[in-house]
Structure 1
Amino acid sequence: MASHAFRDTRFPLLHGAGAMPAVGFGTLFRDLSVTTEAITAALDAGFRHFDCAERYRNEAQVGVAFREAMDLWKVRREELFITTKLWNTNHRPERVLPAFEASLRRLQVDYVDSYLIHTPFAFQPGEEQDPRDEQGRVIYDTGVTLLDTWRALEQLVDSGRCRSIGLSDVSLPALQAIVAEARIKPAVVQIEAHPYLPEWEMVEFCRQHGIVVLAFAPLGHAMEPNVLEEPVLTEIAQRLGRTPAQVALAWSVQRGVAFLTTSTSPAHMRENFALEPLPESAMDEIRERIETRVRFNSVVETGVPGFIPRKK
Structure 2
Amino acid sequence: MEAPYMLRHRTIPLATGGKEMPAVGFGTLIPDPVTTKRAVAKALSVGFRHFDCAERYRNEEAVGEAIAEAIADGSVQREDLFVTTKLWNTNHRPERVKAALEASLRRLKLDYLDAYLVHTPYAFLPGDELDPRDENGQVIYDAGISLIETWHALEALVESGRCRSIGLSDITLDKLKEIVANARVTPAIVQVESHPYLPEWELLDYCQANGIVLLAFAPLGHAMEPNLLTDPVITGIADRVNKTPAQVALAWAVQRGTGFLTTSIKPLRIEENFAISALPDQEMVRIRSDISTNVRFNSVVETGVPGFIPRVKST
TM tier relative to shorter chain: over 0.9
Given that 1:122 and 1:141 are in contact with CA atoms closer than 8 Å, whether structure 2 keeps it comes out as yes
| Cα distance in structure 1, aligned partners of 2:174 and 2:69 | 42
Partner of 2:99: 98
Paired with 1:201 and 1:307, the residues of 2 have a C-alpha distance of 25
Q: Deviations over 1:188-240 (max 9, x none)?
A: 00000000000000000000001000000000000000000010000010011
- 2: distance between equivalents of 1:151 and 1:172? 19
In structure 2, the partner of 1:281 is 282
CA contact (8 A) 2:229 2:235 kept: yes
State the distance in 2 between where 1:64 and 1:132 align.
Answer: 32
Name 1:201's counterpart in structure 2.
Answer: 202
Moved more, 263-272 or 207-216: 263-272
Cα deviation, residue 265, structure 1: 1.1
**Structure 1 counterpart of 2:151:** 150
Tell which deviates more after alignment, 193-202 or 17-26. 17-26
Cα deviation for residue 31 of structure 1 reads 2.8
Give SS of 1:270's match: helix
Report whether the alignment pairs 1:138 with 2:146: no
Q: Pairwise mapping of residues 95-244 of structure 1 onto structure 2 (< 5 A)? A: 95-244=96-245
SS in 2 for 1:135: coil
Tell me how many residue pairs correspond in the alignment: 308
Segments ≥4 residues shifted beyond 6 Å: none
| Separation in structure 2 between the aligned mates of residue 87 and residue 234 of structure 1, nearest angstrom | 37
* Residues 62-114 of structure 1: CA deviation (Å, up to 9, x unaligned): 10001111110111000000000000000000000000000000000000000
Partners of 2:80 and 2:19 lie apart in 1 by 11
* Structure 2 alignment gaps of length 5 or more: 310-315
Question: What secondary structure sits across from 2:282 in the alignment?
Answer: helix
The separation in 2 between residues aligned to 1:274 and 1:61, in whole angstroms, is 25
Check conservation: 2:68, 2:109, Cα contact below 8 A. yes
Secondary structure at the counterpart of residue 14 of structure 1 = coil
Distance in 2, Cα, partners of 1:166 & 1:307: 21
Greater Cα offset, 142-151 or 26-35 = 26-35
Q: Which residue of 2 aligns with 1:41?
A: 42
- Shift, 1:269, TM fit: 1.0
Cα drift, residue 270 of structure 1: 1.1
- AA paired with 1:118? H
Q: Partners of 1:295 and 1:269 in 2: how far apart?
A: 24
Amino acid at match of 2:137: G
Q: Which runs of 5+ in 1 are unaligned?
A: none
Matches within 5 A, 1:292-311: 292-307=293-308
Structure 2 partner of 1:291? 292
Cα separation, partners in 2 of 1:146 and 1:57, compared to 1, 3 Å: same
Paired residue secondary structure (2:16):
helix
User: TM (normalized to structure 1)?
Assistant: 0.97
Moved more, 24-33 or 56-65: 24-33
Counterpart contact for 2:4–2:279, Cα < 8 Å: no
Query: Quick one: distance in 1 between partners of 2:232 and 2:293?
Result: 11
CA distance in 2, matches of 1:26, 1:266: 14
Conservation of the 8 A alpha-carbon contact between 2:5 and 2:278: no
1:66 & 1:184 partners in 2: Cα distance?
29
- Offset at residue 307 of structure 1 (A): 4.5
